[in-house]
């Protein structure tokens, strides 16, 4: 990995682990301006850093803020970086502050240098192109179409720079195939051993049972591609947190991530009804 401003690889890893810790301690009232920090001492590469659960439950409207805060802390460590957003179109166009890509591009300072934004929906692609126009000075590429196909165009040495890279996988339910996650996890952004792309993976929870039960033949094929094997049906009997843990283990054991954290995102401020979980790797 090209390490910004002389940071060594271990120091960078420790710094990014600290970003997770810092994010976990965040409270909703905290000002971004107060989050500049000293890097902690490097931790042994094989020890997973213990990260506390978030102080407050997160809810959907805060999702974009969570991501942009994470990116803010990420760039405080890296001083550079690439942002990939596979399912980037706005979910609620009437609420720009709920749009992750918009929030990230609006960060100040913005030290990330390259942005790859994909979406399969026509209105969403239009919105992404307008977003690019509003940020004309930045290196933003918009990819219309299926991220599972277009990801291979991004994961090429000439396209993806040798630098810290973050990828948001904000699927609704089964859109992101396991093969795509595997490709992202297997791509090294630099020469050092620990240069994996950081992933924010959204796992639907509250509507997953309903989604499973209503699957026709095409849907079952989708679920199989999403899980990566025909064994997806065992998830149907699981409690939400067991599913999240199962995914965490896959990220660790199959994909080789040293640190994987589940975060709950709730439907509303009161925490009534869990909407989805996000996994950070
Ligand atoms: C949950 S929304 C994304 C929300 C967005 N990240 C935000 O911050 O508002 C999921 C998006 O994925 C898009 N989508 C669905 N299937 C896709 C695919 N195969 N490849 C790329 N985008 C896809 C949808 O058009 C939709 O915009």
CATH of the domain at 21: 3.40.50
* Helical (H) or strand (E) element with 70: helix 63-78
CA of 47 to the centre of ligand 1 (A): 34
Residue 58 phi/psi, 5-degree rounding, is: -100, 150
Q: For 145-209, give the secondary structure using H, E and C.
A: CCHHHHHHHHCCCCCCCCCCEEEEECCCCCCCCHHHHHHHHHCECCCCCCCECEEEEEEECCCHH
| Residue 168 placed within a domain | yes
CA of 171 to the centre of ligand 1 (A): 6
Give the residue, by CA position, lying nearest to ligand 1 atom 4: 91
Q: What does the pLDDT profile of the chain (281 residues) look like in tens digits?
A: 333 344 555 665 566 665 665 565 554 434 333 222 333 333 434 444 444 444 444 565 678 888 999 999 999 999 999 999 999 999 888 887 889 999 999 999 999 999 999 999 999 999 999 999 999 999 999 999 999 999 999 999 889 988 999 999 999 999 999 999 999 999 988 777 678 999 999 998 878 888 988 899 999 999 999 999 999 989 988 888 899 999 999 999 999 999 998 887 776 555 455 556 777 77
Cα separation of 195 and 142, whole Å? 24
Give the residue, by CA position, lying nearest to ligand 1 atom 17: 120
Residues with CB under 6 A from ligand 1: 64, 87-91, 98-100, 118-121, 124, 146-148, 170, 172, 175
| Residue 246 placed within a domain | no
CA of 50 to the centre of ligand 1 (A): 32
- Nearest ligand 1 atom to the CA of 100 is 8
Contacts of 250 (CB under 8 A, 6+ apart): none
Contact by Cβ (8 Å): 85, 101? yes
Closest CA to 138 of 112, 119, 163: 112
- Nearest ligand 1 atom to the CA of 90 is 9
The angle that helices 217-227 and 178-186 make with each other, rounded to 10 degrees, is 20
Cα separation of 49 and 158, whole Å? 33
CA of 174 to the centre of ligand 1 (A): 11
Q: Which domain holds residue 114?
A: 7-199
Give the residue, by CA position, lying nearest to ligand 1 atom 25: 121
Cα separation of 6 and 13, whole Å? 13
| Residue 213 placed within a domain | no
CA of 48 to the centre of ligand 1 (A): 31
Closest CA to 78 of 163, 139, 177, 168: 163
| Tally of domains within the chain | 1
pTM, 2 dp: 0.84
CA of 221 to the centre of ligand 1 (A): 19
Q: 């905290």: which residue's tokens?
A: 30
Q: Annotate 13-36 with b (16+ C-beta within 10 A) or e (fewer).
A: bbbbbbbbebbbebeeeeeeeeee
């Amino acid at each position: 990995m090209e390490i910004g401003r002389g940071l060594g690889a271990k120091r960078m890893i420790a710094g990014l682990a600290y970003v997770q810790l810092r994010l976990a301690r965040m409270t909703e009232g905290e000002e971004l301006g107060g989050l500049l920090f000293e890097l902690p001492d490097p931790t042994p590469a094989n020890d997973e850093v213990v990260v506390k659960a978030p102080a407050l439950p997160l809810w959907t409207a805060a999702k974009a803020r969570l991501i942009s805060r994470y990116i803010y802390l990420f760039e405080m460590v890296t001083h550079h970086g690439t942002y990939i957003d596979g399912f980037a179109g706005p979910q609620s166009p009437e609420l720009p502050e709920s749009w992750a890509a918009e929030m990230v591009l609006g960060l100040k300072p913005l030290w990330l240098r390259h942005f790859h934004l994909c979406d399969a929906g026509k209105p969403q692609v239009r919105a992404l192109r307008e977003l690019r126009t509003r940020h004309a000075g930045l290196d933003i590429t918009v990819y219309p179409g299926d991220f599972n196909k277009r990801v291979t165009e991004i994961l090429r040495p000439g396209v993806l720079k040798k630098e810290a890279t973050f990828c948001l996988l904000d699927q609704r339910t089964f859109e992101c195939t396991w093969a795509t996650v595997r490709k992202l996890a297997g791509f090294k952004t630099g020469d050092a051993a620990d240069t994996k792309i950081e992933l924010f993976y959204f796992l639907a929870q509250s509507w997953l049972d309903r989604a499973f039960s209503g699957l026709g033949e095409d849907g079952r094929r989708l679920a199989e591609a999403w899980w990566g094997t025909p064994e997806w049906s065992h998830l149907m009997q699981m409690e939400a947190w067991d599913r999240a843990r199962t995914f965490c283990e896959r990220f660790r054991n199959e994909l080789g991530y040293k640190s994987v954290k589940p975060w709950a995102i709730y439907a509303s401020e009161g925490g009534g009804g869990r909407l989805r979980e996000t996994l950070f790797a």
